Structure 1
Amino acid sequence: MATATALRHAATRLGGGAWAKLLPRRLVHGGARPAAADGKARALNLIKQKREELFDLIADTERRYDTRLTKEGFQNARMLQQLAVQIEPRPNDPLWRSKRFSKLTNDFLGWAGACVAGYMLTKEWLRSDKEAAQEKMADSACVVSNN
């Protein structure tokens, strides 16, 4: 950016306006244009609406057909859990409440399991270091007593 500015300034000083027209102009406004910001808001609202529609479609399919023990059924259940925490709250919908609760419970249990596993591995590692140090001390004590 600084190089382009220096080149533009040098071209203006040396060659006049003809060279300056060939070089790119400096950006005065760095923010997004209002039309782009409006398009972004429209796209985000469309995504939000599609999430709601997808949740309703999968929920309706799960209610109508028994897909619990199929691959698609498991994938749909996971998708419902993911969407339940991303859509607008529906406190009167029992399916939304159960899927949201199961998603939050799964997340909590995943983190808790990782913490417990980390604790257990660290504890085992520290205990093995302590036992190795005690064995080393016992071996050195035997060597000293033999001399």
Structure 2
Amino acid sequence: MAALLRQGARRIGGSVLQRAQAAVTSPAVAEERRRLLPRRMYSTQEQATEENTRKIQQKKEELYDVICKAEQSFLTSSFRNKLLLQHLSVQVKPRPKDPKWQILRFTKRAVNVVDAAGFIASIYLVCSFVAGVRTFIQERRVARARIFEAVARAREEARKSAQIKAVAKAREAGTRSAQIDN
């Protein structure tokens, strides 16, 4: 009896579970989710950020135009304004019909390439210097080791020659004493 009740409960529970899963995955529910989710995910903070980004881009465009006009006059021209104009030329919307924009953009890209090449060359020089210092230190260690080996060999040879001289003196002394005894 208990087994029949369990089996019946499983059948009923399984069908209820299947209905719930079908309702969750139905196209109507999915459409409702798509409609509601963007509103929840798109917060006022993100809207404010997007608005600020648009304002910043607009100010960049305006500043580019103002500096371009100011650069035409010799009295308002300055080196810093030209550098700022180069920076802005890369950040404003493309203006393919404006020759000044094209020149500034090309100049900025060329400056970026030269900067990158200088950075890479600097890194290469530093790495070469470090490698040279390491090689120098290693060669110095090898030279010191050879010097210590040569000094040790010289001491050993001096000790051996001292022993040989001592043995020769002892033999000579032994032969003299034998001669005296005779």
TM-score range, shorter chain: 0.5 to 0.7
1:86/1:135 CA distance change after superposition, 3 Å: same
Question: Given residue 126 of structure 2, which amino acid in structure 1 is its aligned partner?
Answer: L
CA pair 127-40 structure 1, distance change in 2 beyond 3 A:
closer
Q: Equivalents in 2 of 1:125, 1:95: separation in Å?
A: 45
Name 2:147's counterpart in structure 1: 142
Partner of residue 123 from structure 2, selected from 112, 118, 121: 118
Whole-angstrom CA distance in 2 between matches of 1:42 and 1:137: 67
Structure 2 unaligned blocks of 5 or more: 1-36, 153-182
1:49 aligns with 2:54: no
Q: Does residue 1:104 correspond to 2:109, yes or no? A: yes
Report which of the two structures shows the higher radius of gyration computed on alpha carbons: 2
Residue identity in the other structure for 2:81 = N
Unaligned runs of 5+ in 1: 1-27
Asked which structure has the greater RCO (Cα within 8 Å, sep 6+), the reply is: 1
Deviation track 1:73-132 (CA, whole Å, cap 9, x = no partner) reads 122111101110111111121211111112112222112111111111111111111111
Q: Which residue number corresponds to residue 63 of structure 1?
A: 72
Residues 40 and 122 of structure 1, relative CA distance in 2, 3 Å threshold: closer
> What is the correspondence of 1:127-138 to structure 2 with a 5 Å cutoff?
127-138=132-143
TM (norm. structure 1) is: 0.67
Q: Greater helix share, 1 or 2?
A: 2
Aligned length: 115
The RMSD of aligned alpha carbons is 2.4
Which residue in 1 is equivalent to 2:93? 88
